[in-house]
Homo-oligomer: A and B are copies of this chain.
Amino acid sequence: MKKLNKITALAFLVITFLSCFEEKESASAVASNSESETTQEHPKLILTAQGVKNIRAQLGSIPIFDKTLEKVKAEVDAEIVAGIEVPIPKDYSGGYTHSRHKQNWFILQKAGVLYQILDDEKYAKYVKDMLMQYEALYKTLPLHPKTRSYARGKLFWQCLNDSNWLVYVSQAYDCIYNYLSEEERNTLETNLFRPFADHISIGSPQFYQRVHNHSTWGNAAVGMIGLVMNDEELIDRALYGIKDLKLDANKKDDDGGFLNKDGKAGFLANIEEPFSPDGYYNEGPYYQRYAMYPFLVFAEGLHNVKPELKIFEYKDGVLLKSINALLNLSDADGDFFPLNDGQKGMSYYNGSLVTAVDISYHYGNQDPGLLSIAKEQNQVLLDDSGLAVALGIKNGKEKPFNKKSINLSDGPKGAQGGVGILRNKDIELVFKYASQGSSHGHYDKLSYSLYENGEEVIQDYGLARFVNIEQKGGGNYLKENKTWAKQTIAHNTVTQNEVSHYGGKYDIGSQHHPELQYYNFDNEDIQVVSAKENNAYPGTEMLRTMALLSDNDFEKPFMLDIMKVTSKKANQYDFPYYYFGQVIQTNFEYKTPETLKPLGPRNGYQHLFVESMANAKNENSKFTWMNNQKFYTLTTLTNNKDELLFTRIGANDPEFNLRRDPGLLLRRKNTKNTIFVSVIETHGSYSPITESAVNSKSNMSELKVVYNSEDYTAIKLTHVNGKVQLFITVNRETSKEKKHNLKIDNKNYEWSGSYYFE
């Protein structure tokens, strides 16, 4: 009821506000018509002259657009009252000068757009005045005083942020281009924009001349100002990189990524390389979200100014496909799965996703599902695409955006592994068999995370960083990102002999990738994905098959996990489960030590305290835990030499940079070939109000490997009520058509395709 009242109140405000400038709107329409000869060229990036006309004609009758406009206007008006501040650059991220210049770029862009839409000169004047202050400042600036970046900016400590600034400010400049005199434009272009574009490109080739999200920002910045200034040289530099420049192929950036290994550069290469044909971005969704904005606004500008480039059709329309991929890489709450270096909580409510959704709707095929996300975002772009979305919503065209199971290939040609997301009811299983993911990649081949209704059941740690919280290492990557978050043991996959995949070496990791065996989502109740990795540990093959299975004996779909390891020599295998919450019950007896010690000396092991130790005594080890008033049970195959360790993150963490999250680690020593088989059930609930526990126990009685060869692995699942199920996964000939015939315990099983389950 409260919500409704708010909405009503807001609607009233919007109406009141909009009726105030209806008159003005028609007046300005006349004005812009009479000026049509001179104005036809600007704006042209995200707004067009025709687009502005359309927007003005609809204002007041497109609720979500009107509301966004009202909010933006209130924000900019407050800034105008507060006055312009253009401080001398000094701080890292999170510090005052950083935040102020960042705030300025947003406000400039917004003020420019307001000038176009509302035709009120105060906005143009505000943009002009601030740009002139930037012009006065910029020409005096040396490199930014903070020295930590591999590519220092001038306004900011890193060129990346300078590029952010220019991507936004180009739009502001475009919006007031016609408002400025030629002399003013000359001043700005000569002293500010051109040298600015040069510094982040030819002045910083180690930043600009790469395939990397940083460079995408750089390319877009140079390209967008180039489009506004009608500077073909800058546009070319944006699209194709700095002409005739070759960088040292062995140099690396701050994050340990190669600066430019294969010589590719420029905006088009940045589309070509990191996106797979399915639209998966190789650094993962968190950085895709970050890169999306420059990809899409520059593309929008190119579409408007250089339609002959057909940028939205480039590489089979991958830019628009990538938006669909990105939306599918989010959980039930819209939060992106934190693959690689991803900060948890980033979601499709981020502003760059407003851009993505609106552009995808407008320049794509008007998917009505996108409108429902736009509605949840509760804002639109104040441009042509935002108008299209607002009209779509107004006309009631939206439908739910149903996320289904999806397999996203990785690699420029889609042949470098991928990410499989299995979905059934409230359960989401994210299986990562992707390639290294550039410098933001983690050493976590064949790892997974598990979600229930947007909550983490088995977590991926994410990154070790407090983005933009100045007190924590200036808001930058913390050293624990390398020593913990990237390491294999921080992930839900196998670590062999306490060494990370590829030896934790980026150079090696970048040469390899897992390979898809098969995926099959044909039956909603039996969703399976299978992949293998042969290079993480030379001489060892890992083949993991993960399934989300439904059965009437279980309250919810459960996860079946089969990790088959084949090695030429005996190894130690560590297999962790990063759960959340409190231990409810185990069927193994553990001992808790008086003092807590780190699990090992390096490769992430130094960050894990051992909270208890156990020797597995049963063929199935079971562990039930409770988190957020729900129960979860792991059932996993063990032998009597296996160890089970409860761990907690936080050892050797001298600045409390890591979360104290728990884990259960299954350790199998001195073993060549082996198989890890687990089921995770989510079940029941606890109410602290009624104090009743419902369905607090597992419904899985036993897991057993009944067949295991190079060709097939078969698992027998016995439910608590005695019912037996058999899951067979095909290890070699995985085509959908292939017929199989297998005898297990004197019974013949015949089926077609890559798995059998009954």
Interface residues of A (CB under 8 A from B): 3-4, 94, 99, 343-347, 349-351, 466-472, 475, 582-585, 591-592, 594-598, 609, 611-612, 624, 626, 629, 646, 648, 650-656, 659-660, 662, 686-693, 696-697
CA distance A626 to B472 in the complex (A): 11
Taking a contact as CB atoms under 8 Å apart, the answer to whether B648 and A660 are in contact is: yes
Taking a contact as CB atoms under 8 Å apart, the answer to whether B689 and A582 are in contact is: no
Q: With A595-B597, A596-B609 in contact, do A688 and B469 touch (Cβ < 8 Å)?
A: no
Taking a contact as CB atoms under 8 Å apart, the answer to whether A471 and B584 are in contact is: yes
Q: With A3-B3, A349-B689, A350-B690 in contact, do A469 and B584 touch (Cβ < 8 Å)?
A: yes
Complex interface: chain B residues within 8 A of A653 (CB): 592
Complex interface: chain B residues within 8 A of A686 (CB): 469
Q: With A471-B624, A691-B468, A693-B94 in contact, do A582 and B656 touch (Cβ < 8 Å)?
A: yes
Q: With A4-B4, A660-B660 in contact, do A471 and B696 touch (Cβ < 8 Å)?
A: yes
Taking a contact as CB atoms under 8 Å apart, the answer to whether A650 and B611 are in contact is: yes
Taking a contact as CB atoms under 8 Å apart, the answer to whether B582 and A688 are in contact is: no
Q: With A350-B690, A688-B345, A690-B350 in contact, do A595 and B592 touch (Cβ < 8 Å)?
A: no
CA distance A344 to B691 in the complex (A): 11
User: Could you give 6 example pairs across A and B, Cβ below 8 Å?
Assistant: A466-B584, A468-B693, A470-B696, A472-B584, A472-B585, A595-B595
Taking a contact as CB atoms under 8 Å apart, the answer to whether B648 and A350 are in contact is: no
Q: A656's contact among B347, B583, B654, by CB below 8 Å, is which?
A: B583
Taking a contact as CB atoms under 8 Å apart, the answer to whether A689 and B469 are in contact is: no
CA distance A344 to B345 in the complex (A): 26
Complex interface: chain B residues within 8 A of A691 (CB): 343, 346, 467-468
Task: Output the nearest chain B residue to A648 by Cβ-Cβ distance.
Answer: B660
CA distance A291 to B468 in the complex (A): 50
What 6 A-B pairs come out closest when comparing CB atoms?
A345-B688, A583-B656, A596-B596, A471-B585, A467-B691, A592-B654
The distance from the CB of A344 to the nearest CB of chain B, in whole angstroms, is: 7
CA distance A692 to B346 in the complex (A): 12
Q: Label chain A's interface by main secondary structure.
A: loop
The distance from the CB of A341 to the nearest CB of chain B, in whole angstroms, is: 13
CA distance A656 to B623 in the complex (A): 12
Q: A689's contact among B4, B346, B624, B693, by CB below 8 Å, is which?
A: B346
Complex interface: chain B residues within 8 A of A467 (CB): 688, 691
CA distance A467 to B598 in the complex (A): 34
Complex interface: chain B residues within 8 A of A3 (CB): 3
Complex interface: chain B residues within 8 A of A584 (CB): 466, 469, 471-472
Taking a contact as CB atoms under 8 Å apart, the answer to whether A469 and B696 are in contact is: yes
Taking a contact as CB atoms under 8 Å apart, the answer to whether A689 and B471 are in contact is: no
Complex interface: chain B residues within 8 A of A585 (CB): 471-472
CA distance A350 to B594 in the complex (A): 40
CA distance A656 to B691 in the complex (A): 20
CA distance A459 to B651 in the complex (A): 25
Complex interface: chain B residues within 8 A of A344 (CB): 688
Task: Output the nearest chain B residue to A99 by Cβ-Cβ distance.
Answer: B692
Q: With A471-B585, A624-B471, A656-B582 in contact, do A689 and B595 touch (Cβ < 8 Å)?
A: no
Complex interface: chain B residues within 8 A of A652 (CB): 592, 594
Taking a contact as CB atoms under 8 Å apart, the answer to whether B592 and A688 are in contact is: no
CA distance A468 to B3 in the complex (A): 36
CA distance A201 to B606 in the complex (A): 60
Complex interface: chain B residues within 8 A of A469 (CB): 584, 626, 686, 693, 696
Complex interface: chain B residues within 8 A of A690 (CB): 350-351
The distance from the CB of A164 to the nearest CB of chain B, in whole angstroms, is: 12
Taking a contact as CB atoms under 8 Å apart, the answer to whether A350 and B689 are in contact is: yes
Complex interface: chain B residues within 8 A of A347 (CB): 688-689
Taking a contact as CB atoms under 8 Å apart, the answer to whether B594 and A688 are in contact is: no
Task: Output the nearest chain B residue to A591 by Cβ-Cβ distance.
Answer: B654
CA distance A691 to B692 in the complex (A): 39
CA distance A343 to B94 in the complex (A): 40
The distance from the CB of A690 to the nearest CB of chain B, in whole angstroms, is: 7
> Knowing that A346-B689, A468-B691, A471-B585 are A-B contacts, what are 18 other residue pairs whose CB atoms are under 8 Å apart, sorted by A's residue number?
A344-B688, A345-B689, A346-B688, A350-B690, A467-B691, A469-B626, A469-B693, A470-B693, A471-B624, A471-B696, A472-B585, A475-B693, A582-B656, A591-B654, A592-B654, A595-B597, A611-B656, A646-B656
The distance from the CB of A326 to the nearest CB of chain B, in whole angstroms, is: 15
Task: Output the nearest chain B residue to A3 by Cβ-Cβ distance.
Answer: B3
CA distance A466 to B94 in the complex (A): 42
Which has the most chain B C-beta neighbours within 10 Å: A343, A466, A654?
A: A466
Task: Output the nearest chain B residue to A346 by Cβ-Cβ distance.
Answer: B688
The distance from the CB of A652 to the nearest CB of chain B, in whole angstroms, is: 7
CA distance A351 to B692 in the complex (A): 13
Task: Output the nearest chain B residue to A334 by Cβ-Cβ distance.
Answer: B689
The distance from the CB of A342 to the nearest CB of chain B, in whole angstroms, is: 10
Complex interface: chain B residues within 8 A of A591 (CB): 654
Task: Output the nearest chain B residue to A471 by Cβ-Cβ distance.
Answer: B585
Taking a contact as CB atoms under 8 Å apart, the answer to whether B343 and A688 are in contact is: yes
CA distance A690 to B612 in the complex (A): 39
Complex interface: chain B residues within 8 A of A629 (CB): 345
Complex interface: chain B residues within 8 A of A4 (CB): 4
CA distance A321 to B656 in the complex (A): 47
The distance from the CB of A643 to the nearest CB of chain B, in whole angstroms, is: 17
CA distance A470 to B691 in the complex (A): 12
Complex interface: chain B residues within 8 A of A662 (CB): 660
Q: With A345-B689, A469-B696, A598-B594 in contact, do A582 and B659 touch (Cβ < 8 Å)?
A: yes
The distance from the CB of A327 to the nearest CB of chain B, in whole angstroms, is: 15
CA distance A467 to B688 in the complex (A): 8
Complex interface: chain B residues within 8 A of A650 (CB): 611
Complex interface: chain B residues within 8 A of A466 (CB): 584, 626
CA distance A588 to B568 in the complex (A): 52
Which has the most chain B C-beta neighbours within 10 Å: A345, A626, A656?
A: A656
Complex interface: chain B residues within 8 A of A350 (CB): 689-690
The distance from the CB of A364 to the nearest CB of chain B, in whole angstroms, is: 24
CA distance A70 to B677 in the complex (A): 47
CA distance A349 to B687 in the complex (A): 11
CA distance A696 to B469 in the complex (A): 8
CA distance A344 to B688 in the complex (A): 7
Task: Output the nearest chain B residue to A335 by Cβ-Cβ distance.
Answer: B688
Q: A596's contact among B94, B475, B595, B689, by CB below 8 Å, is which?
A: B595
CA distance A612 to B650 in the complex (A): 11
CA distance A467 to B629 in the complex (A): 12
CA distance A596 to B592 in the complex (A): 13
CA distance A571 to B572 in the complex (A): 52
CA distance A469 to B684 in the complex (A): 12
Which has the most chain B C-beta neighbours within 10 Å: A343, A646, A651?
A: A651
